Amino acid sequence: MRMLEGKVAIITGAGRGLGREEALAFAKHGCDIIVNDLVGSDEVVKDCQKLGVKAIANYNSVVDYNKTKEMVDQAIAEFGKLDIVVNNAGIIKDRMIFNMTEEEFDSVIAVSLKGTFNLTRHAAVYFREIGKDNPELGNFGRIINTASDSGLYGNVGQSNYGAAKSGIASFTIIIAREISKYATVNCVVPSARTKMTTDLTPKLIEWMNTKTQDGFDIFHPAHFPPLLVYLASDSAKNINGEVFRAIGDKVWVYRGWKAVKMIKNDRKTFNPEDLAKRVPTELMKDLPSKLEGVQTPELLLS
């Protein structure tokens, strides 16, 4: 069964890596696609067309607010409508904070976080206009944003990337509430073997080549797109404002920040001296690890 038959999608960062895999998976399920990337879009377009769908290349930068509006306009002009947006574009510029330049911070935030806002904003306007004109459509639109482990748990050397990606997760939860009448908005967190996770982060190469004893290639990028196909389909119309993580044959759902412990002071304002005594001995005692929930090799191999 082709779950996206007759749908139209914009996928950013789709010229290579996970974006390419996502485009191909959408095409296999009958979705026409605007393939957006600064490089590589033409080849992906050809591969999608071979799967029997219409696909068009777009080389606009997601950093440019007006250019992302052009993507939405292009989808409507070429295909008559827009159903799905996948915000996949992102860059990495690893650097410890004491060495990070302003450009290294700004560029990562611009592509990942602002780029997600730009396209989401224009798509939301379209979904709302169509939805108000035709209420029978319900929440027909789908927006899928992309976060990362760095945003969930924090990776040393990625304060720029992690800030952008955790921001995307929060952005998703808020926007999901704002446009729930017209569209669902969800966030996905991939862990897959791509040029970004190997060439740019060589320390991950061995980890990303992990296989189970029976040869299952845990981090193969093809394992990830089925989650997006589902979230983009009509079957997921009741899934909104969630953050999912997928690795290999496993999918998790996350629920953000939560309080894990509390101290109180019998209706009296804490003073600094009380806090100095009680925070380390009560509030911070026997806390769960900050990395609780991180998927270890043992868990992934199970």
3-state secondary structure the chain: CCCCCCCEEEECCCCCHHHHHHHHHHHHCCCEEEEECCCCHHHHHHHHHCCCCCEEEECCCCCCHHHHHHHHHHHHHHHCCCCEEEECCCCCCCCCCCCCCHHHHHHHHHHHHHHHHHHHHHHHHHHHHHHHHCHHHCCCEEEEEECCHHHHHCCCCCHHHHHHHHHHHHHHHHHHHHCCCCEEEEEEEECCCCHHHHCCCHHHHHHHCCECCCCCECCCHHHCHHHHHHHHCHHHCCCCCCEEEEECCEEEEECCCCCCCCCCCCCCCCCHHHHHHHHHHHHCCCCCCCCCCCCCHHHHHC
Claim to verify: residue 226 and residue 297 sit in the same structural domain:
no
Claim to verify: residue 133 and residue 237 sit in the same structural domain:
yes
The answer to whether residue 165 is catalytic is yes
Which residues, given as ranges, of the chain have pLDDT below 50? 297
Number of domains in the chain: 2
Claim to verify: residue 148 and residue 291 sit in the same structural domain:
no
The answer to whether residue 159 is catalytic is no
Which pLDDT does position 152 carry in this prediction? 87
Which pLDDT does position 99 carry in this prediction? 97
| Catalytic member of 41, 112, 148, 159 | 148
State the pTM of this model: 0.91
Which pLDDT does position 256 carry in this prediction? 83
Claim to verify: residue 189 and residue 231 sit in the same structural domain:
yes
Claim to verify: residue 186 and residue 286 sit in the same structural domain:
no
Which pLDDT does position 149 carry in this prediction? 87
Range of the domain at 302: 259-302
The answer to whether residue 126 is catalytic is no
| Catalytic member of 7, 41, 165, 182 | 165
Claim to verify: residue 237 and residue 297 sit in the same structural domain:
no
Claim to verify: residue 227 and residue 289 sit in the same structural domain:
no
Q: Can you give the CATH number for the domain in which 54 is found?
A: 3.40.50.720
Q: Is residue 2 part of a domain?
A: no
pLDDT tens digit sequence for 99-122: 999 999 999 999 999 999 999 999
| Catalytic member of 112, 150, 159, 161 | 161
Which pLDDT does position 185 carry in this prediction? 98
Claim to verify: residue 288 and residue 274 sit in the same structural domain:
yes
pLDDT tens digit sequence for 66-102: 999 999 999 999 999 999 999 999 999 999 999 999 9
